[in-house]
Structure 1
């Protein structure tokens, strides 16, 4: 007879194998039989623990969300705001979670929405702290700026393959992150235009159209 601990160990092994397989091949292209073979269990045992592939995916979604957002999660022992950075510094161990995260963020699942919302909220908190410390320039629409900064942070995760092809190296590797750091901070600190003509022109055009959607400039 299997013990309760055996069942828990098998369930975790199946989940972790499924996370890696879904991240590598995609949900639709990954079968329960393939996961079972890779995990060293029977397909019947997966059905016993999870019911079907959709239920298995839901558990994988929830687990990956908890890895990056749950302070009590013991897989990555770092504050939630630093968990992606910690994972990026050890892609050998945490790479499947990053790749799974990338697929989640583009698939429109409820778990992906929860995860994105948590990243957005964290960015909002950081910008609020920096605003209180008088580190930020005035913003026409602080919430839109929060969204754009969040997208800058998540873009390399979602577009990892395309960026690696362009740069010739994985941007999420230590070398890639070093190359990214200064240009990103230059962009956020100084911008890229040496003139305000485009910004002034956009403001004039929006004013002429009667646009009143700008947020608090503070």
Structure 2
């Protein structure tokens, strides 16, 4: 599997500021992080931070844009080379995003980093489009909703990594942890917990409950009234 060279931006003072911001936002949160603290870590003046990014909010947006760009590039590499002979893609993604795990966990738990999450959802939709074409049965849930839920569950692994590591008996960010997580994910995705027939029965039950709920009955009544008014 080939990888592209370093981003030219990563050789600049701007990149040092961005990486310092990612560290501070991850360790202290957005509110407690200061421009001066970021500048000291990056080895530049506060004025240079403001020159490049304007404000702390714009700096955070730049951090999100950088991570989204990195994840898209990694996604493109994986899609271009799907031969799993000697590549653990989970370990690869962890290695690429390793320095930013704390930022992502904190940002997502606090409800920001929306561009990162939304970018992952878009990439998830691309994967699902290919998978859906191979399904013997048509999906009965919206593709974007499925992609968003998949991203949320995958990112939950990062947020809950301490609890996962404790239950796995090994640091999930270690080589052994990467191997265990990869094998477990393969098993989960290749062996569904319920059969298609069971899923269909549950879907029908959900639709029946939804159709008889008070909210659904009110919607039905409103539609009936609208039709009567038109008549």
Per-residue CA deviation, residues 68-119 of structure 1 (Å, 9 max, x unaligned), is 22x4xxxx6962769976331x26xx4222332333333434xx33322222
Contact 1:21–1:35 (CA under 8 A) maintained in structure 2: yes
Aligned length: 195
Q: In the alignment, what sits opposite 1:140?
A: 140
**1:64 — aligned with what?**
67
Runs in 1 of length 4+ with deviation above 6 angstroms?
194-199
The residue that corresponds to 1:87 in the other structure is 93
1:20–1:100 Cα contact (<8 Å) kept: yes
Of the three residues 28, 41, 46, the one matched with 1:43 is 46
Decide which structure has greater helix share: 2
Call closer, same or farther: CA 1:171–1:81 in 2, change over 3 Å. Answer: farther
TM-score relative to the length of structure 1 = 0.68
The TM-score, its normalising length taken from structure 2, stands at 0.65
- The within-5 A match list for 1:49-128 is 49-69=52-72, 71=73, 79=77, 86-88=92-94, 90=95, 94-109=97-112, 112-128=113-129
Partner of 2:151: 150
How far apart, CA to CA, are the structure 1 residues paired with 2:196 and 2:134?
A: 27
Structure 2 unmatched runs, 5+: 1-10, 81-88, 217-231
Q: Secondary structure at the match of 2:32?
A: coil
The answer to whether the Cα contact below 8 Å between 1:78 and 1:86 also exists between their aligned partners in 2 is: no
Which whole-Å CA distance do the structure 2 matches of 1:81 and 1:148 have between them? 21
